[in-house]
Structure 1
Amino acid sequence: MVTPEEHAAHDTAAEKKIISDVEKYGFHVAIIPGDGYSPAFAYTIGLFKAYGYPELICFGLNQDLLHSVLWSGKELLDKQPRPDQCIGYPDFIGDYNVRFLTVDRDWYGYYFGYGIWFNQGIDFPALQIVWPDKQALYPWEEGFNPAWKAGQPLLDRNLDFRFREERNVAVFTTQQVLDGLPILRVIHEADGDWQFLCDTTYVLDDLKIVALEQLTKRDPTINELFQLNYGWQARRVVKAAEWQEEEYAAAEADEEEETAD
C-alpha cells in the first residue's frame, strides 16, 4: 500500500514534470494505464492555458497510440481550434476517421485529475477524441462492435448511468434493498458479477436479480463506483457517507456463507 508520504512525493514529481513539459512543448500528455476493468486513457494538460484550445482526452488504445492521437489532435487544433463534431477527421489512426465530442464537466473529476490541478479548477473546455470499430462505426451507432464498447466511455452523455455495462445487465441485490434499505456494500466480483447489498443479510433466499439501471435509479450514489475494479468492494456506514474501497477477500465470502448456514 502506498503511504501518504510516497503519494505526496509522486504528486510533487508529476507536477514538476507537467510544468516542465508545458514550458518546453506547450502541453503535457498524462497517460493512465488500464486496470483490467477500466480502460487506459490519456489526456492533455496545458493546451487551454498555452493556446486557448480545449484539452483533449482519448480512451482504449495502447499507450503509444494514445500519445500519437493526442499529438495529432493538437496539430488539428492549430489549424481548426473548434473541430466540427458532425464530421470525421483522417490521419489519426491509420485509414480510420475520428470524431470529437464535448466532454461534460461532470466527468472531469474522474478523468482530468492533474488537469484540474493545473487549471486550478474545472473552468476549461475539453474534447474527447472517439475512434470507430473496423467497420468504421462509432460507439453511438447501431452495429458498433459490442466487445469494444466498454473500452471507450462517451463523456458527453450517460451522467445518470455511468457504469460500463449495459443498463439491463443482471446484478444481485437483496429483497431488503428493494424494500427500501440503503445499499451499504458493493462487490465487483472477479468474474464480473456485481452485488449491491444492504449488509444486513446473507441468506440466499433474500437474494434477488434485477437490472443494474433499476438500482441506479433507486440510488444514484452507486454511480460513484462505476470504476470499481474486478475483485474489489466498496463499503459505507450510512448512505450519506463516503465509499471506502478495498480488495474483496475470498475469506469474507467464506465467512458470509458460514453466517448464512
Structure 2
Amino acid sequence: MEIDNFIDIETEQLITKNIKEHGYHLGVIDGDEYLPSFAFTIGLYKTYNHPEIIIFGLSKEVMQVALNTICQNIQKKTTYTTATDYSDILNKYPVQFVEVAKDNYFNYLDYCSYFYDNTPNFPALQLVWTDKQGHFPWDKQFDEEWKFNQPLLDRNTDFKFYEEKELEVYTTKYTLQGNPILWVYHTHDGDWEFHSEEHPDIDNVQTITLGDLVQKDKSLNDVHILSYGQSAVRKDIDSPWEFADYEEED
C-alpha cells in the first residue's frame, strides 16, 4: 500500500488540472485480500483551507461518492470537525472524523505530501464509518468482523499492523538474541516470519507475539502493509525496506 514518492507527468498534470478546475482531486488505492482499499482528496487544504480527507474499506464507488459529497459541501462553506456525527454522507449512516496522525502520512497520504512540496505540512481527517448497527470502531459493541477494514489513523502509531498484538509470529533464537531483523515474509497462508538471516536455521525457529516483537523494534511498523506472498528486505537497521513478491519454498 505504500507508494513511491514519485508521480508520473501525466498523473501530476491530471491532479493539477482537477484542482484548478474543481478545487480538488480524488485518489484511490486498490486493496487486496489482506489490505483494504482507500480513497483520499488532494487540494482541499490549498483551495479551501480545509483538511484533506481519507476513507478506508468501502467499495471504490461508495468512497468516491462520499468524498465528492464532502468536497461539494466544503465548497458550500461546510467545515468538518472531529467528535461530531454526520448523517448526510453515507446513506444516513452516521460517520465521524478523526485527525490523522503525522506518523501515518508516509503510508497513506504520500500523494498528498508530494503535492504539498513533499512535506506533511497539511492537516488531514479520516472519515470513520459505523457497522450496520451504527456502532463506531471505538464502541465495545462494534462488529469485530470489520475491525481491520479501516485502521484508525489518529491512534496506535506504535503498532500499525492489521493484526492482533497477540498473534504468534515466527523468528529464530538468533534474532531473539538481539540481532537486527533484516528479512520479513508474509506468507500466502497469512503467517509472518521475521529473520536476521537470509537463510535461517529451521532448527532454531521460535515464536513470539507480534506485539512483543514490534515493541523491541518499532521500525517493523514500516512493513505492516506487506500483503500475502510479499517480502521486505533491508541492508541494515538504518536502511529503508525494499518490498517484493516472493515464491515460497516447498
TM-score, normalised via structure 1 length: 0.88
Q: Counterparts of 1:1-40 in structure 2 under 5 Å?
A: 11-40=8-37
Question: What is the CA–CA distance in structure 2 between the aligned matches of 1:176 and 1:146, rounded to whole Å?
Answer: 36
- The residue type equivalent to 2:104 in the other structure is W
Report how many aligned residue pairs link the two structures.
245
Q: Could you tell me which amino acid in structure 1 is paired with residue 247 of structure 2?
A: A
- Structure 1 residue runs of 5 or longer lacking an equivalent are 1-6, 255-261
Distance in 2, Cα, partners of 1:125 & 1:202: 44
Mean Cα displacement is larger for which, 186-195 or 168-177? 168-177
Same amino acid, percent of matched pairs: 38
- Counterpart of 2:43 (choices 40, 43, 46) is 46
Amino acid across the alignment from 2:167: V
Larger helix proportion, structure 1 or 2? 1
Unaligned runs of 5+ in 2: none
**Can you list the C-alpha shifts for 1:20-53, whole angstroms capped at 9, x where unaligned?**
1111111010111113222111100111111111
- Note the alpha carbon deviations across 1:154-176, whole angstroms, 9 max, x for none: 11011110101011111111111
Q: Does 1:214 align with 2:212?
A: yes
DSSP-derived class of the 2:11 partner = helix
TM-score w.r.t. the length of structure 2 is 0.92
Where does residue 134 of structure 1 map in the other structure? Answer: 132
- The more displaced of 120-129 and 136-145 is 136-145
Structure 2 counterpart of 1:30, which letter?
G
Deviation at residue 82 of structure 1 after TM alignment:
4.2
* 2:55 paired with 1:61: no
Secondary structure, counterpart of 2:53 in structure 1 = strand
Task: Give the 3 Å change call, closer, same or farther, for CA 109–202 of structure 1 in structure 2.
Answer: closer
Distance 2:99 2:198 in 1: 43
Residue by residue over 1:94-148, the C-alpha shift from the partner in whole angstroms, topping out at 9 and shown as x without a partner, is: 2310010011111111111221121212111111000011121111221322221
Q: Within the alignment, does 1:234 sit opposite 2:207 as a pair? A: no
Please name the residue that 1:169 is paired with: 167
Q: Please name the residue that 2:141 is paired with.
A: 143
Deviations 1:69-109, CA, capped at 9 Å, x for gaps:
112222444443242x2231102212310010011111111
Amino acid at match of 1:138: F
What is residue 246 of structure 2 aligned with on the other side? 248
Instruction: Mark the structure with the bigger radius of gyration.
Output: 1
Equivalence for 1:180: 178
The alpha carbon displacement at 1:66 in A equals 0.6
Greater mean deviation of Cα atoms: 109-118 or 122-131: 109-118
Where does residue 94 of structure 2 map in the other structure? 97
Alignment of 1:185-196 (within 5 A): 185-196=183-194
Structure 1 segments (4+ residues) deviating >6 Å: none
- Give the stretch that moved more between structures: 89-98 or 152-161: 89-98
Q: What is the identity, as a one-letter code, of the residue corresponding to 2:65?
A: S
Residue type at the aligned position of 1:62:
S
1:149 aligned partner, one-letter code: K
Distance 2:121 2:237 in 1: 30
- d(CA) in 2 for partners of 1:198 and 1:154? 31
Counterpart amino acid of 2:48? Y
- 2:49 is aligned with what amino acid? G
Q: Separation in 2 of the partners of 1:117 and 1:245?
A: 21
SS of equivalent to 1:205: helix
